[in-house]
Amino acid sequence: MTACNDNINISIAMNVQRWFVMRAYKNEKKAEELLCGEHGLEYFIPKHSVVRVYHGKKSKRMVPVIPSLVFVHACRIEINEFKQRCPFLQYVMWKTADGLDYLTVPAKQMDDFIRFATYQAENAERLRLALGEELWVLLEKIFGQQGLEFAIFGGTPCVHQKITMQISRGARILGYVKVTESKEIYGIFEHEKKILDTLHKQGMGQVPACLYCGTMKIGLHLFVQSTVKTQQSEVVHAWSEKHEQFLNDLAMHTRQKVQFEDSDFYSDLNALEEHLPMLGSPKVLCKAIQEVKERYAGREVEFSVFQADFTPWNMFVEKERLFVFDWEYARMTYPSRLDYFHFLIQTAVFEEHLTAEKIAERYASLRSTLVPIWENPDFALQCYLLSIMSIYVQREPDVRDNGVIERMQLWLELLNILNIS
C-alpha cells in the first residue's frame, strides 16, 4: 500500500465528506467492528454468500467479495482521528499526472453501487424465485440445455444501469441476460437487437447474437445474447492489429451511401446543438459543429457503423479473434473508424488517468500513422469528440452532474488543443 508523502496531491479538502476507498489488510473483521461501533463511521463492505466447510459441516456465510476492501464515508479529519484507534485501515492512493491522490467514489455512483451490491449479495436466490419458472423454461429453450446456473452482476453505475446475469452450465459460459423494469432501458435493448441483427446479416461474426428481446408476464424486460467467451478468454488493454482489423471489417461490412442530412451523425450534431445553452455555448464547440456541418452539407457520404463504446472492458480475445459486445449506443451511419479515438481516449482517462494535454501529446505522436486511415486525422478526431459529447448529453439527465462536467471539460480541452494546433 502506498503511504502518504510529500508527492501526494492534497486536492481533497480535509473537511469534505467523500467515499474513500480504503484497505484493512487481513483485518477487515476488526475494522468492521470498530466502524460500526459507538465512535465508528459510515462504511460499506461488499459481501457475497459462500458455502464453506467448518468442522466438517457446510454452512453459508457472508464474506467480503474482495478481501480487505472497505469504503468509508467521512472527511479526512474524521478518518485520520479514527485511524488512531484503527491504524491498519489505510487509504488507497492512485497515481495521477500531478502525483499521488486519494482514491474516492462519487456519491451517486457509490449509492448505486451499494444498492446493487446489496441486492446481489442478499437477493440472488430471491431473484431466481421471483423470476420464476417462466424465465428458466425460456432460457432452457433458448440455450437447449437444462441445469443452467447463473451469476448476477449489478452493472456499471450509470443512468441506464441494469442487472446482468451470466448463464452457464458447469465451466461453460452460454450467454448473458440483461434485466430491467424500465421501459426506457427496454427501448435500448430493442435498439441493440436491431444493431446486432443488422451486423450479423452484413457478415460481422465477432459480435453477440441477440437470442431474445421481450417482456415477461411479470413485467420484467429481458435481453438475451450469446457469447463465445470462455475462462481462457483474454482482455487486451493495448491497441493491436486485432483492434484495427475489427474496425476495418466493421467499416467494410456496414458501409452505405446516404445523404449527410439523413445520417445518424447529422442527427447527433443537431442534438448537441440543442444542448449548447445548457453547456454554456462554448465558442470552440459551436465552431466545431459548424465546421463539420459545412464540410458535409448537401453531400452524399459513405458512412458505416459506430460502436460508440469500443473499450477493453467491452471486448475480449478468444482463439486469436477479437469479439466486441455492448452495442447499446451504436449508430448505423457515422464516419468510419471513429471508435479508434474512443479506445485511445477512454483507456488514457480511466486506466492511465492522463490529462487532456497528455492525451493530446500522445495523439500527436501517433498522428502520422493515422494519415492512411483518414486524410485529415484532426478532422476525424473532431468528429469523434462531437459525437461522444452528443451521445453523453442525450444519455445523461443532468449535464450539471460533477461526473458529466469533468468529462465534458476534458473533451472541450481536447477540442481547444485541436483548434490551436
pLDDT of residue 3: 38
Which one of 3.90.1150.10, 3.40.50.1370, 3.30.200.20, 3.30.499.10 gives the CATH number of domain 111-226? 3.30.200.20
pLDDT of residue 397: 66
Q: Rounded to an integer, what distance in angstroms lies between the CA atom of residue 124 and that of residue 207?
A: 28
pLDDT tens across 229-268, in order?
Answer: 998 899 999 999 999 999 999 999 999 999 999 999 999 9
pLDDT tens across 257-268, in order?
Answer: 999 999 999 999
The architecture in CATH of the region 18-105 reads: 2-Layer Sandwich (3.30)
Is the model's pLDDT at 170 over the cut of 90? no
Q: Which of 77-81, 87-91, 115-119, 336-340 has the highest mean pLDDT?
A: 336-340
Is the model's pLDDT at 356 over the cut of 60? yes
Quickly state the pLDDT bin for 102 (edges 50, 70, 90). Answer: confident
Quick check: 50 and 61 in contact, CB under 8 A? yes
Quick check: 194 and 243 in contact, CB under 8 A? no
If one compares 12 and 351, the residue with the highest pLDDT of the two is 351
pLDDT tens across 188-205, in order?
Answer: 999 999 999 999 999 999
Q: What does pLDDT average to over the chain? A: 85
Average pLDDT over residues 170-195: 92
Quick check: 165 and 149 in contact, CB under 8 A? no
Range(s) for CATH 3.30.200.20 in the chain?
111-226
Quickly state the pLDDT bin for 9 (edges 50, 70, 90). Answer: very low
Average pLDDT over residues 378-392: 96
Q: Rounded to an integer, what distance in angstroms lies between the CA atom of residue 242 and that of residue 270?
A: 34
Range(s) for CATH 3.30.70 in the chain?
18-105
Q: Residue 61 is inside which H or E element, if any?
A: strand 57-64
Q: Percent of the chain having pLDDT more than 90?
A: 52
The set of residues, in sequence order, having a beta carbon less than 8 Å from that of 336 and lying 6+ positions away, is: 247, 251, 255, 302, 303, 304
pLDDT tens across 46-99, in order?
Answer: 876 655 555 666 566 677 777 788 999 999 999 999 988 888 888 988 766 666
pLDDT of residue 290: 96
Quickly state the pLDDT bin for 401 (edges 50, 70, 90). Answer: low
Is the model's pLDDT at 184 over the cut of 60? yes
Calculate the alpha carbon distances from 118 to 8, 68, 145 in Å.
33, 18, 30
Calculate the alpha carbon distances from 417 to 19, 375, 381, 383 in Å.
33, 19, 11, 14
Average pLDDT over residues 144-169: 74
Q: Rounded to an integer, what distance in angstroms lies between the CA atom of residue 224 and that of residue 196?
A: 12
% helix, strand, coil for the chain, step of 5: 45, 25, 30
Average pLDDT over residues 323-337: 97
Q: Which three cell numbers stand for residue 22?
A: 480504503
Average pLDDT over residues 2-19: 58
Q: Percent of the chain having pLDDT more than 70?
A: 83
Quickly state the pLDDT bin for 107 (edges 50, 70, 90). Answer: confident
Q: Rounded to an integer, what distance in angstroms lies between the CA atom of residue 287 and that of residue 84?
A: 55
pTM for this predicted structure: 0.72
